[in-house]
Each structure stands twice: as C-alpha cells, then as structure tokens.
A and B are shown apart, each in its own frame.
Chain A
Amino acid sequence: MTVSETRYSWGADEHLVVQFAEAMSLEANFRAMAVSKVLDADRLAGITDICPGNASLLIRFDPDVTPPAELEAAVRQAEQHVGNQPSLSLETRIFEVPVWYDDPYTNEVGARFRDRHQRPEGNDLEFGAIENGMASIEEFIEAHSGSPWITSMVGFVSGLPFLFQMVPRERQIELPKYLRPRTDTPPLTVGHGGCFAAIYSVRGAGGYQMFGVTPTPIFDPEQRLADFADFMVFFRPGDIVKFRSVDEAEYRSIEAEVEAGTYRFRQRPVTFTLNEFLADPDAYNGSLMEALYDR
C-alpha cells in the first residue's frame, strides 16, 4: 500500500472521508489509526470528530472554522508524516472477553429469523463451521477463541467494536451476513460478518452471524462498573481482545459479579508492533498471551 492509493472524498460540507485501501488489512487499519493520532495531537479548531475506520478515516468538521482546503491539506500532511515512519506501533492493551458459545439467547433469535438466513437448518455456529471447512462446532469455537483479535473500528451504535482476527488471511474466519438483516439481536451478542467479529453493545437490528453472548457489558451509560469510570464506552480502536469460551455456570457467575458492580476485565497494557507481528503472527500472539496471563 502506498500513499498514492489513498482516496479523498467529501461527505458534503461537514465530512471528509479518506479511504486508504478498498480491502481490509492490518496495514490499512494501522494507517487509519496513525493518521487519526497525528490529527488528534495537533487538532485543527474546526474538527469535531475523528473516526478511524477499518481501512478508512471519517472526519467531521465545521467548514466555517476550518475551510475544506485547509482540512484536506492538514490530513494529507498527516498522511505523509505517517507514510514516512518505518514501523507502525501502538501503545494499547489486551483484555479477555468471556463468551458463552452456543447459548440459548442467540439460538432462539437465530431460529426466529431463519427465513432470512442462508441455511435453513442448524444454527449460525454450524453455518460458520461448515463455511470455513471445519469438522465441528468445537473446532470452530477453538479457531474463534484461540487467537486474539484487534479492534479495527468502534462504531455503528454505542461503542460496538469491529474486531479483526490476528491470524494470516487464509486462517481468518470469513462469513456472509444474513441475507436480510434481523430486527432483533440479543444484547452482548458476539457476531461475525465478512472478516469482522463484532460485539453488539445493545439489543437491536443486526445482520451478523451470531455465535454466543458475553456477560460483560461493553457500553454502560450509568458507568456503574470500575472499568467504565472514565467513559461509558469500553472499547477503543487498537484494543486487543482474547475471547475465552465459558460454560453456563461461569457465565452466570460473571453475570452476578456484573450485577453486583464488582466485575473487572482481565487486562494488561501492551505495545503492539505491526512489523513484528506480521513477521511471525503465531509467535507474536504467544507473547501477547504471556502478557495477558502473566506467564
């Protein structure tokens, strides 16, 4: 990917969209995050929102304060600045998200909307296993929870993370969305569409395949839990997530901790260096797991 591939386009008079690449890749995502950081550090007065996307960047601005030409010049300068950096690295954190896979909540909703699905029989987990050439649901869950995911974008609604699997492309889980979107998704559903996992922050419409639910909130407008003391949204771009398969008993026990207001995410600060990861993803992920579990 080179700087010249980047496409600039205006979302009328209040938005600039910068598309770094058409295909998803960690390189494009890191470029989006890095350019966002540069812009944020030396923020023009007219910029109201800097929203890094998976392979793009959306900026909302007030053209009465910062005219479009001035904004574009600043973003191009930030892009050049990032483009000249030899390695993209990120000070971030890794944390664990427990998942009750094959749970009754997503199975019930999945069954209710089966007429909108590619495969009338079975559930979304079975569909995921078959489509990705796996022999069983267990093998699929192992692939889903066995390696970490990086938050490549936060958005859609209320702090919903888009997560990109940190394995070589040929091992990434890929699945189509529902043929027609559902009008319902259980809150805290762990879903998947295209190459992205997502955690639905609130109940509502959705088109991603549904694999399970997590007991831990990711959006807490009342800010009851300690991990939400600073802000009602937990996920930030660049966060690294390790899913862990839990059974119903552990799901209920974590749910009780959340209810009591005592739950804390297991989390550790880490530095993520893109080139080192790309050189040997499995070894790099191993070191991330050591950091998360203090091994």
Chain B
Amino acid sequence: MTVEILEPGLASNIQDQGRPGYYNVGIPPGGAADLNAAATANQLVGNDVGAAVIESPYMGPSLRFDTATVVAVTGGTVPVTLNKEPRPQWESFAVAPGDELSFGFLQAGARIYIAVAGGFDVPIVLGSRSTYVTGGFGGFEGRTLQKGDVLPIGEADGTPGRVLPEHLRPVYSRAVELRVVLGLYDYRLTDAGRTCLLESEWSMSPVADRMGFRYSGPALEWIERVQPFGAGSDPSNIVDAGYPVGSIQVPGGVEPIILHRDAVSGGGYAMVGTVISADMNKVAQCSPGTRTKFVSVTMDEALEARAADRAYLAEVTAAVVS
C-alpha cells in the first residue's frame, strides 16, 4: 500500500487541512495552500476532506502505485496521464498495481492536488499530517518529496467515477482581484500610500511559496515619525508583533508580501491589511506575473464572502458525494 515518487516535481509536499493551535509558538496553521482544491480531491476519491494529499506547485510529480486504489487530481489545470494515457481532472479514476501517474505542463493556476483513497498515511504531528518544511517536521520526514521516496497510503476502497460538474470547477485567471480588509498598521501610510496600494496593479513576483507571496509595483509612502522605542529605524518598522495569516506587509515600503498558510508568525514590519479567508485559495493559484488588484472590503463583506465559500463547498459535497 505505497506510492513511489519517480520524479518529485518542484517542492511537492504532503498537506491536509492544517494544524491550528500552535501559532503562539511560531508554528503556522499550514494546510493545503488551496484548501478547497485539496478537500474536493479527497471527496472525489471517497475520503474525508481532511485526508492528506500531495500539493505540487507549478510542476507535477511522477508516481508509481504498488496497489490498486483510486486517484483524483484537482487544482491547477494540467494534462494528467496514467501509463501515458490521458486522464481527466476533477474526476476520480482507478489505478492498478504498477501504474504510473504523470503530468504535463501547467496551463492555468499554480498548484495541483493529488488525492488517493485512504490518504497519504504519514505520521500525525501536532494534530496534522501537513509538512512544515521550515520546522523540519510533519508530512514525509518534514521535507518536500524527493525521487525514490515511498509514501504509505491508508486502507480504503475508494470511489472511482465521481465527477465535479463543470460549473463548480474554479476558473483560474492571470488577472485577479483580491479582497482585503484594510487595517492593522495602515494608519502608518499616508493617504497617497493607501491610495497607491488600492489603485495600483501589482504583479506577482517569482518569490512566492507557502510562506508568502511577494508583489512588485510602486513604492508606498509612510507617514514620517520619530520611531517608537524598540521598533527599528525604518518607517515601515514596528515593535515586532504577531502577523495574521493573509496579512500584507510592506518592508521598506516596497514589494508587498501576502503571508500564506506557512506564515512566519510575527515580525517587525507594518501590515496594512489582510486578504479575506475566502480569497486565500485564489492567492494559492496565482503564478508569477499574475496581475493583481487589492480591493478594500468591510468585515461584513468578508463574512458574506466566507459564507458564500462555505455554500460553494456544500454544493461541491452535494454534487460529488451522492
């Protein structure tokens, strides 16, 4: 009951729905960067949404199965082949012992998710199977997957032939709007700085991973002040404080960074707002060069978006798990 990694792809790693509760000691919640895609992949193969899947940014791995099981691939749009024969995405299918699963070039989105019936059965650490590479624990030996790794999978029959209807599949774009609740330390920006944040078109840089996504664009202007004791000398410095997951910090006033699910839990850069929880999956599916606008929303709008996201997942469940 194992899967062997023939080629690892780029930074492929094991994730589930995350590890809340340890952020106070600098251990981030983690979990699939695109939680919805991971949950859906699991539902397609008949798992609970919280089973562990493989997350592969930009480039898929090659895998060989030693057992009959059921597989589903979701997330970024990519050609999928089983023994060089095409297979669909957003649909579960059976694999036989010795079968090899491979991927072509990513066509849209940024991260693909591979679920197997029974889930990848790596040890649970602090309540989760998610890999936390910086801390060197969780997932498979606390690291990204390498050629030759043999991953255990759980025992389950699986459900081949489950399909997510077309109208429920996400559409990935190279031009996105991210909804943001402004606040935190945004009072440190001048009016011009705040306007610039919201009215500029930002371009996602190649410096983007599970910890954070960096954007290029114009410099933001800060209000000059005598810095408070302990904050550091740059106007973008604050006395080191906790960083919300999804918060946007702007070190030195340039290149905003959206912290993602493996966020550093705190530091000394002023945050000017936070991406709403419902748009964090969208961030995960952006690739370098994606044109990005930050759109200011209220807390009520953030909560409505959250409810809409929950309703979408309920629809997915109803459509897939029949």
Contacts and interface: CB of A to CB of B under 8 A. Distances in A.
Contact of B25 (A10, A15, A155, A221): A155
Contact of B239 (A24, A50, A157, A233): A24
A194 B244 contact: no
Interface residues of A, number: 56
B247 A24 contact: no
Nearest to A15: B244
A177 B232 contact: yes
Contacts of A219: 135
Nearest to A208: B268
Interface string A95-134: 0000000000000000000000000000000000000000
A230 interface: no
Nearest to B279: A12
Interface in A1-42: 9-15, 17, 19, 21-25
B245 interface: yes
A77 to B, nearest CB: 20
Contact of A23 (B136, B239, B303): B239
B299 A10 contact: yes
A202 B25 CA distance: 13
Given A58-B241, A58-B242, A176 B276 contact: no
B217 to A, nearest CB: 19
Contact of B299 (A68, A176, A202): A68
Interface string A45-72: 0001111111111101001100010000
B242 A156 contact: no
A195 interface: yes
A154 B266 CA distance: 9
Contacts, number: 190
Nearest to B246: A12
B142 to A, nearest CB: 7
B26 A221 contact: no
A221 B142 contact: yes
A12 B122 CA distance: 33
Nearest to A219: B135
Contacts of A153: 240, 242, 266
A201 B265 CA distance: 14
B275 interface: yes
Interface of B: 20-27, 29, 125-126, 134-137, 142, 180-181, 183-184, 228-233, 237-247, 264-268, 271, 273-278, 299, 302-303, 306, 310
5 contacts: A17-B183, A58-B266, A154-B26, A158-B25, A233-B25
CB-based closest 7 A-B pairs: A58-B242, A11-B244, A24-B230, A15-B244, A23-B228, A12-B274, A155-B265
Given A55-B239, A159-B25, 7 more contacts: A12-B274, A48-B21, A49-B29, A157-B264, A177-B268, A233-B26, A235-B25
